[in-house]
Amino acid sequence: MSISPVELMREIYETRTVSDASGVSLPLESEMRLPLAEALYRVVSDHTPNLALEVGMAHGMSTLAILGGLHAGNAGGMLISVDPHQSTAYRDVGRTNVRLCGMSAQHRVVEQLDYLALPSLLQELSSIDFAYVDGWHTFDYVLLDFFYVDKMLRPGGIVGFNDCGYPAVHKALAFLKTHRKYAEIDVGLKPDYNASNVLKATVRRVLRRNNNDRYFRKLEDWEPTWNFYSYF
């Protein structure tokens, strides 16, 4: 019997070691923090999406958390992971992890840059129920990821973001809040305003630039009129 995705995820965080497709051990890298992976797992378990999408897979900690949530919900479901570097820089470690927990049939990797993959997925899919954004973290890329996620996400669906403490991600979230209809949801993560010094932490707190992952529920399919602009 294969290991469950969440057991494998926790084991990897403990050992900080992963294996590639040929069994070679490598140090875990580029991963989201464990409490954030646990929160992702809880959100997906609670909402049991039929179709989930993630941007940014790396060694697949978010992938295991999402598949773990689908597994716990026991309701089938499918995850699509967009990452241009899975078989190259990440040596298929994420794919190997999915195979180890016997969930390859519920998982598909689109090995392309987000700006090529997401327009094709928008044409292909009728809608998605859940998305997690953890790819390239500059403002333009996060905004682009959100733009396409918003087009695919059904009303009531949820989108989560990693590295929200980065000014670029925070700015993209300010766009989400001013130019679309979403409500932030509490996933049990206390806001974290820690920084390398007191001044930075104060700025962070004042700007509410929370380091933890943040999740938003889509309230409705809505876009402003063609000439709308709100400062964000």
Ligand X SMILES: C[S@@+](CC[C@H](N)C(=O)[O-])C[C@H]1O[C@@H](n2cnc3c(N)ncnc32)[C@H](O)[C@@H]1O
Binding footprint of ligand X, residue count (CB under 6 A): 22
198: tokens are 């007191």
Angle (nearest 5°) at CA 34 between 31 and 35: 135
Please state the closest distance from residue 135 (CB atom) to ligand X, in A: 4
The residue (of 132 and 216) whose beta carbon lies closer to ligand X is: 132
Site membership for ligand X, residue 57 (CB under 6 A): yes
Site for ligand X in 136-155 (CB under 6 A): 136, 141
Task: Note whether 144 and 114 are within 8 A (CB).
Answer: yes
Say whether 69 sits in a helix, a strand or coil. Answer: helix
The residue (of 61 and 103) whose beta carbon lies closer to ligand X is: 61
Given the rule CB under 6 A, which of 54-62, 99-107, 150-158, 220-228 is the region that contacts ligand X? 54-62
The residue (of 61 and 67) whose beta carbon lies closer to ligand X is: 61
Tell which phi-psi region holds residue 145, choosing left (phi > 0), alpha (psi between -120 and 50) or beta: alpha
Q: Applying CB under 6 A, which of residues 129, 134, 150, 213 lies at the interface with ligand X?
A: 134
Q: Applying CB under 6 A, which of residues 53, 61, 133, 187 lies at the interface with ligand X?
A: 61
Report CA dihedral (116, 141, 172, 183) to the nearest 10 degrees. Answer: 40
Draw the binding track, 79-118, toward ligand X (x: CB under 6 A; -: no contact).
Answer: ---xxxx----x----------------------xx----
Tell which phi-psi region holds residue 199, choosing left (phi > 0), alpha (psi between -120 and 50) or beta: alpha
The residue (of 60 and 69) whose beta carbon lies closer to ligand X is: 60
- Name the packing angle between helices 34-47 and 61-73 (round to 10°): 30
Angle (nearest 5°) at CA 34 between 83 and 26: 60
Q: Applying CB under 6 A, which of residues 52, 58, 93, 187 lies at the interface with ligand X?
A: 58
Site membership for ligand X, residue 32 (CB under 6 A): yes
Angle (nearest 5°) at CA 167 between 164 and 170: 45
The residue (of 27 and 227) whose beta carbon lies closer to ligand X is: 27
Site membership for ligand X, residue 55 (CB under 6 A): yes
The residue (of 74 and 93) whose beta carbon lies closer to ligand X is: 93
The residue (of 113 and 174) whose beta carbon lies closer to ligand X is: 113
Say whether 5 sits in a helix, a strand or coil. Answer: helix
Contacts of 133 (CB under 8 A, 6+ apart): 54, 55, 56, 142, 145, 146, 149, 159, 160, 161, 162
Which residues of the chain form contacts with ligand X (CB under 6 A)? Answer: 30-32, 55-62, 82-85, 90, 113-114, 134-136, 141
